[in-house]
């Protein structure tokens, strides 16, 4: 199975992030515009946390807070679980399954390289399986 680097090489290394003082409303607007389910919270070029749609639903709406007044640092998940470019896809699937999370920041030391989602992982696995099947079909027909 592949590595996180393979996913990033395919999808790109673009990082969607906001500052800790950004309002929840602004972060949700950005997520909507980019069609993404989460953003990284970055302060002084360092990963401070992650904010996802799940955080919005569970930490804002259910607690009766206002998205236009609440800063993202109040709701973010601080010190999120992160992976490296060399982490295996299999390990990512295990982390996501065990921890019930859908997004993993990708770090090289403290440098933020990107973020992968469960959708990225599934897409990679499907493409890898298609490639293996095509290779086996080619081998069998020779």
3, 89 contact by CB (below 8 A): yes
Q: Which structural domain range is residue 123 located in?
A: 4-140
Over the range 30-40, which residues count as b (16 or more CB within 10 Å of their CB) and which as e? ebeeeebbbbb
Number of domain units in the chain: 1
Report pTM.
Answer: 0.89
CA 44 distance to own-chain centroid: 20
Q: Give me the CATH number covering residue 54.
A: 3.10.580.10
Digit-coded pLDDT (tens) for 56-109: 988 887 888 899 999 999 999 999 999 999 999 999 999 999 999 999 999 999
113, 106 contact by CB (below 8 A): yes
């Amino acid at each position: 199975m592949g590595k996180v680097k393979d996913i990033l090489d395919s999808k790109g290394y673009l990082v969607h992030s906001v500052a800790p003082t950004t309002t929840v409303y602004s972060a949700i607007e950005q997520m909507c515009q980019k069609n993404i389910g989460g953003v990284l919270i970055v302060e002084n070029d360092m990963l401070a946390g992650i904010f996802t749609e799940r955080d919005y639903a569970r930490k804002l709406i259910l607690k009766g807070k206002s998205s236009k007044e609440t800063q993202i640092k109040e709701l973010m998940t601080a010190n999120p679980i992160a992976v490296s470019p060399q982490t295996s896809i299999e390990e990512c699937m295990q982390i996501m399954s065990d921890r019930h999370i859908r997004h993993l920041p990708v770090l090289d030391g403290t440098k933020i390289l990107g973020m992968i989602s469960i959708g990225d992982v599934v897409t990679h696995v499907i493409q890898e399986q298609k490639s293996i099947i095509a290779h086996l079909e080619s081998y069998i027909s020779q």
